[in-house]
């Protein structure tokens, strides 16, 4: 098996010979699915919103057929999520202001390791310009960890007392979990022979790798409980740069 693969111009003559094996880098700025919340969300205006995050990987690509590449990647991703609420002051039963948690103050970050395998097909538009379609799977991992977060208010006696509790487990209990993705976009050959790819990527996670429970006990109000989870599914812009080698003939 040779080390190079042929690329043809529209004239049908061999003009460029690419290396079958290349290394590259990928970054994916992404919008992550909002965390899912189950429970009474209306009384205290509990909500979540999609958050920005992303991933970065190094790649090894192998051209095993004329139009098909196998790409192996390894890296890490950063997943943001939030948990917002707005509690009216009347619920506390003493003189205070409305209490809220939103925006950047409600945002938390989770970090995972990612290994990925992908099959990519390329379809020529012009000699240096191609459509690309990709599909693949990945395995993610983060160490298992647990944590508790609570919020406190000063009561009428000048003492701080908690009114909310969040208990969460991160890292899918220390077990790796799968993701699946598809992407579509275009590739351009640069003047130095390297390849630039830009594609829309849709990633689906099969599990909530972070799971938590919440509880609110505000003044004399009945306790309000629920659950929430973060999956890591996202829509992102896949930006890849391959340090391709080629020869002109």
pLDDT the model gives residue 96: 82
Phi, psi of 174 (to 5 degrees): 80, 5
Number of other residues whose CB lies within 10 A of the CB of residue 148: 9
One digit per residue, pLDDT tens: the chain, 249 residues?
Answer: 344 454 544 445 555 666 789 999 999 999 999 999 999 899 999 999 999 999 999 999 999 988 999 999 999 999 999 999 999 999 988 878 899 988 776 789 999 999 999 999 999 988 789 999 999 999 999 999 999 988 998 888 888 889 999 999 999 999 999 999 999 999 999 988 899 999 999 999 999 999 999 999 998 899 999 999 999 999 999 999 999 876 666
pLDDT at 72: 98
Query: Tens digits of per-residue pLDDT, 137-153?
Result: 999 999 999 999 889 98
Beta strands in 20-128 (DSSP E): 21-32, 36-39, 51-65, 68-82, 85-87, 99-101, 107-126
Taking the domain 4-248, which CATH number applies?
2.40.160.20
- pTM for this predicted structure: 0.86
Domain boundaries, the chain: 4-248
Q: Which two tokens stand for residue 33?
A: 């699915």
The residue among 121, 122, 123, 127 whose CA lies nearest residue 10 is: 127
Percent of the chain with pLDDT over 90: 71
CA distances from 211 to 57, 76, 173, 198, 207 (A): 26, 20, 10, 33, 10
The pLDDT score that the predictor gives to residue 32 is 97
């Amino acid at each position: 098996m040779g080390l190079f693969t042929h690329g043809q111009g529209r004239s049908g003559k061999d003009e460029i010979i690419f290396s079958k094996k290349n290394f590259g880098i990928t970054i994916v700025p992404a919008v992550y699915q909002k965390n899912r919340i189950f429970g009474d969300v209306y009384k205290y205006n509990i909500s979540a919103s999609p958050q920005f995050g992303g991933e970065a990987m190094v790649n090894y690509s192998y051209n095993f057929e004329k139009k098909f590449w196998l790409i192996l990647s390894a890296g890490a991703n950063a997943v943001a999520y939030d948990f917002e609420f707005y509690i009216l002051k009347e619920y506390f039963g003493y003189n205070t202001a409305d209490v809220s948690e939103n925006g950047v103050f409600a945002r938390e970050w989770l970090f995972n390791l990612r290994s990925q395998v992908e099959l990519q097909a390329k379809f020529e538009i012009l000699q240096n310009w191609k459509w690309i379609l990709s599909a693949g799977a990945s395995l993610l991992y983060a160490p298992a960890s647990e944590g508790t977060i609570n919020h406190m208010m000063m009561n009428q006696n000048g003492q701080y007392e908690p009114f909310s509790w969040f208990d969460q487990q991160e890292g899918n209990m220390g077990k790796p979990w799968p993701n699946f993705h598809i992407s579509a976009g275009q590739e351009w050959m640069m003047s130095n022979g390297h390849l630039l790819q830009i594609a829309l990527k849709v990633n689906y996670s099969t599990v909530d790798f972070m799971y938590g429970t919440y509880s609110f006990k505000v003044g004399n109000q009945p306790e309000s409980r629920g659950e929430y989870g973060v999956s890591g599914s996202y829509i992102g812009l896949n930006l890849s740069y391959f340090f391709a080698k080629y020869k002109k003939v």
